[in-house]
């Protein structure tokens, strides 16, 4: 078995939103970057993977265990950081840790204290008194303290300054020094994924559009710019998410060979940010 998580035909219906027929085979030992516009379904997927939302169909399998019927055992091996504080905000951080520790057989209080010191967090303050960035660090300390095998992170670098973001990346990479560990990392800050992601999954309107190794995905697309007078229906059909600007038109293409022959076309390697900007709804 080489997968950490296998998702089969997963659908979730919520008021005003639906996650539709998601299939993913997430290898063990990789960092998967989950990208998509606001409202695309990233958080819904992560909360379903962590048993907050119940699927209307399909299954989520961790190793050889399906989440349904094995949630408690599976959660022992998950470290979870959502995009907002989900621990009791009014209790002091140390009290929160002591309250949560008994639920995890591997919770290491000394490791938690070391992480709190590393993050420069006062354990005698309540998480509600922390800044947004400090709250993310606190949740990461809680997630890592019970020595999980899988980290599931929803916008973990949101609200962090560049130095704190770099520190967060360092800690994720340290976690990955164990080749059995796996990270699923949702973010809008695509430069973070440029640095550390092995695979990228793109979600749009509740559907998984792509899941590929990062380098293979970036080789699939080019960013193309076309002068206005050159545009035709044939060219337009070969451009994804086309937008007009002062100089002409710009968008993604998977047909590099077609455009490379056109002197009026400028081609550059697409970035993850380009995928977010120009991916068709």
Averaged pLDDT, groups of 10, the chain, 281 residues long: 90 95 97 93 95 95 94 94 86 96 95 95 95 90 96 88 86 94 93 92 94 93 92 92 91 93 91 88 51
CB–CB of 250/10 below 8 Å?
no
Task: Break the chain into its structural domains and give their ranges.
Answer: 3-214, 221-278
d(CA 127, CA 130) in angstroms, rounded, equals: 5
- Which tokens sit at 104? 């995890």
Cα maximum dimension of the chain: 68
Q: What is the model's pTM?
A: 0.91
Nearest Cα neighbor of 276 from 36, 72, 104 is: 36
Q: Look at residue 95 in the predicted model and tell me its pLDDT.
A: 96
d(CA 107, CA 77) in angstroms, rounded, equals: 11
Q: Look at residue 280 in the predicted model and tell me its pLDDT.
A: 66
Q: How many CB atoms lie within 10 A of CB 269?
A: 11
Fold (topology level) of 3-214: Rossmann fold (3.40.50)
Helix, strand and coil in the chain, % to nearest 5: 35, 30, 35
Sign (positive or negative) of CA dihedral 107, 176, 152, 50:
negative
Sign (positive or negative) of CA dihedral 267, 197, 135, 171:
negative
Q: Look at residue 268 in the predicted model and tell me its pLDDT.
A: 94
């Amino acid at each position: 078995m080489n997968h950490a998580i296998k998702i089969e035909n997963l659908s979730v219906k919520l008021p005003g939103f639906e996650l539709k027929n998601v299939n993913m085979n997430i290898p063990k030992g990789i960092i998967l970057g989950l990208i998509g516009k606001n409202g695309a379904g990233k958080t819904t997927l992560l909360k379903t993977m962590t048993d907050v939302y119940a699927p209307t169909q399909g299954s989520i399998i961790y190793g050889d265990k399906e989440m349904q019927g094995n949630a408690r055992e599976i959660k022992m091996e998950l470290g979870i950081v959502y995009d907002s504080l989900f621990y009791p905000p009014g209790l002091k951080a140390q009290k929160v840790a002591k309250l949560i520790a008994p639920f995890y057989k591997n919770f290491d209080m000394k490791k938690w204290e070391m992480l709190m010191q590393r993050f420069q967090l006062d354990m005698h303050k309540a998480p509600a008194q922390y800044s947004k960035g400090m709250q993310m660090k606190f949740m990461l300390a809680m997630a890592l303290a019970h020595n999980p095998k899988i980290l599931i992170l929803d916008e973990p670098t949101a609200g962090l300054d560049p130095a704190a973001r770099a520190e967060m990346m360092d800690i994720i990479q340290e976690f990955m020094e164990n080749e059995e560990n796996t990270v699923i990392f949702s973010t809008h800050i695509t430069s973070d994924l440029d640095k550390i992601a092995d695979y990228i999954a793109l979600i749009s309107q509740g559907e998984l559009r792509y899941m590929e190794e990062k380098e293979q995905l970036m080789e699939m697309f080019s960013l193309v710019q076309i002068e206005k007078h050159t545009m035709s229906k044939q060219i337009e059909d070969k451009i994804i998410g086309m937008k007009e600007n002062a100089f002409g038109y710009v968008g993604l293409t998977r047909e590099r060979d077609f455009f490379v022959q056109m002197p009026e076309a400028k081609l550059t390697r697409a970035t993850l940010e380009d995928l977010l900007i120009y991916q068709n709804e």
